[in-house]
Structure 1
Amino acid sequence: MTAQNSAIARPSIAVGGTVLAALGVAIFSLTFPATDWSLTGFGPWTTVTLRALLATALAGGFLLAGRAPVPERRLWPALAVVALGVIIGFPLLTTLALRTTQTSHAAVVVGALPLATAAVGSAVARTRHSAAFWATALAGTAAVVAFTLAQSHGSPSRGDVLLFASLGVCAAGYVAGGRLAASMPGWQVIGWALVGSLPVTLPAAVVALTVEPVRLGGQALVGLGYLAAVSQFGGMVVWYRGMATIGIARASQLQLAQPLLTLVWSALLLGEHLSPATALTALAVLVCVAVTQKA
């Protein structure tokens, strides 16, 4: 490839990576409403473990069909971080929080995830970003945090504590997966992480099903199906590929739009009331997205 062709290809690749990362954000924006639906028929532990098992079955089929090689031993510690972060930790903490917290409220709290992801990514890769990048990321995070505290009258609830705890584990899982996706396809990253988590998720699912009641219904099944097939597997495939293409920090800032999308779904699908402050926060978030992409 000539230097000119390479220069033309780079912007095209960047656009493709941005589209994939944005698609992942759109998919994840429906995760909280889907979780809310799943909780109408399944307990929180059952929801988390069954979504992982169903996603594992789907991923296993892809791994077998694609004859994906078993990852080298040196890659398994990073895959374990992915499993602990995005398969077990984040789903469990957020699902427990959604038992007492509205999805719209949870969406705003998790709006701080881009800053957490960028911070963890920078620490791991030992990279530096411009002052404008960090200032805008902090501004976007401050907007969603201020909104959250205003809704809870200045005192974080138990659900808020769980949601904030989920940020660190999810950021670690995102960064580990994003780095792995630079050397192996994203679908193999999440696929092998799911397979590797089976020793935990399988027995946990058996216990959860014996302890928590199950009330099968259309809404619960649709919610669980979306969590397993789309949020836990399909969304992670495109998200990791996007992160590997455009970089962890830049991709993470696209997630500043996720709270806005989830708020829309919360109103449309769950009938939750959105206050005027929600629109102002959403506008601030969108501005931050645009600025961070340029910074």
Structure 2
Amino acid sequence: MSDSKTLSGKSWSGKSWAGEGRSRASLEGWGSGLLGVIIFSGSLPATRVAVAGFSPLFLTSARAAIAALLGAALLALLRQPWPQRKDLVSLTIVALGVVIGFPLLTALALQHITSAHSIVFIGLLPLSTAVFGVLRGGERPKPLFWLFSCIGSATVGAFALSGDGSASLTGDLLMVAAIIVCGLGYAEGAALSRRLGGWQVISWALVLSVPVVLVMTIMTLPPSWQGIGAPAWLGLAYVSIFSMLVGFVFWYRGLALGGIASVGQLQLLQPFFGLALAGLLLHEQVRWSMIAATMLVVACVVFARRFA
């Protein structure tokens, strides 16, 4: 007897069913990954709005504290096992890079530059992650990897020095530092997620940071809550719930279903989504120089990844 099955007049073999299952999982992965990228794209515009009402230190600590409570509840609800002692160093690096470093440095930067200007630097984030992945993994990429890495970095440097009307040396340097620490945190988290799982890594990193961020939150409380408008509160809520936790859940789910190499390319769309949100929601001027610089940086990242 044939091992194929008939459904609606068509013959389906076991391989056909398996192929359809993989195709569906890949499609779901792309959809989940794309949603994660869109969520992350709103982080800088939301931060820009939030720092109008809160200090960068309070915003950084408060968003981490809120996300940590949600992450702890999620870990407890799903009965996730505790990380091993050897994972604490990696989780600390993730917490310093993603939970505290990147949010604080971008919040400080956005006091000096617009979110549209800062988003050009986000184009270097995949490259920063790849470089730290290479350094941490001991791999030896081809010389063309370093060539395109240098071209991408030089593009951002030239953009920062071009004086597009929203430039600030302080803001630009803070964004460069933010990209470096975030790339380190992403690379460390990616390696650790192979053992703990993607969303579990960010959740445990948030929980690990609780003692520090709670003290920071109390010490940096606003002297008065009056005068803090609804947009600032909405910005705080967005970066706390979506940027720090929900986005990672969708992003890591997409990577797991669709494949890291495939779905990971969606991250290249984040700067363009961010520019669109900055223009539509904040009515910031998106100059052609921003779009051109972002496109060149993304092209460099694509080629750099190919030769990594």
CA–CA separation in structure 2 for the residues paired with 1:215 and 1:208:
17
1:205 to 217, 228, 239: 217
1:83 to 82, 91, 95: 95
Evaluate the alpha carbon distance shift between residue 4 and residue 262 of structure 1 in structure 2; reply closer, same or farther with a 3 A threshold. Answer: same
- With structure 1 as the length reference, what TM-score do the two structures score? 0.84
Instruction: Work out whether 1:67 is the aligned partner of 2:79.
Output: yes
The equivalences for 1:109-188 within 5 A come to: 109-130=121-142, 135-136=147-148, 138-151=150-163, 157-188=169-200
CA–CA separation in structure 2 for the residues paired with 1:171 and 1:59:
22
- Give the gaps of 5 or more residues in structure 2: 1-13
Does structure 2 retain, via aligned residues, the 8 Å contact 1:115–1:252? Answer: no
Does structure 2 retain, via aligned residues, the 8 Å contact 1:43–1:212? Answer: no
1:43 to 48, 51, 55: 55
- Give the gaps of 5 or more residues in structure 1: none
Q: 1:40: Cα distance to partner? A: 2.4
Q: 1:234: Cα distance to partner? A: 1.2
Q: 1:255: Cα distance to partner? A: 3.3
The letter of the residue matching 1:90 is F
CA–CA separation in structure 2 for the residues paired with 1:191 and 1:80:
12
Evaluate the alpha carbon distance shift between residue 126 and residue 253 of structure 1 in structure 2; reply closer, same or farther with a 3 A threshold. Answer: farther
2:66 to 54, 58, 67: 54
Q: Sequence identity of aligned pairs in percent?
A: 37
Evaluate the alpha carbon distance shift between residue 274 and residue 152 of structure 1 in structure 2; reply closer, same or farther with a 3 A threshold. Answer: closer
Q: 1:284: Cα distance to partner? A: 3.3
CA–CA separation in structure 1 for the residues paired with 2:224 and 2:107:
14
Deviations 1:35-69 (A, max 9, x none): 01212221111111110011011111111111111
Question: As a proportion of its length, which structure holds more helix?
Answer: 1
Evaluate the alpha carbon distance shift between residue 241 and residue 120 of structure 1 in structure 2; reply closer, same or farther with a 3 A threshold. Answer: farther
The letter of the residue matching 2:248 is M
CA–CA separation in structure 1 for the residues paired with 2:283 and 2:59:
22
Q: 1:274: Cα distance to partner? A: 1.7
Q: 1:146: Cα distance to partner? A: 2.7
Which is greater in Rg?
A: 2
CA–CA separation in structure 2 for the residues paired with 1:211 and 1:88:
22
| Count, aligned residues | 292
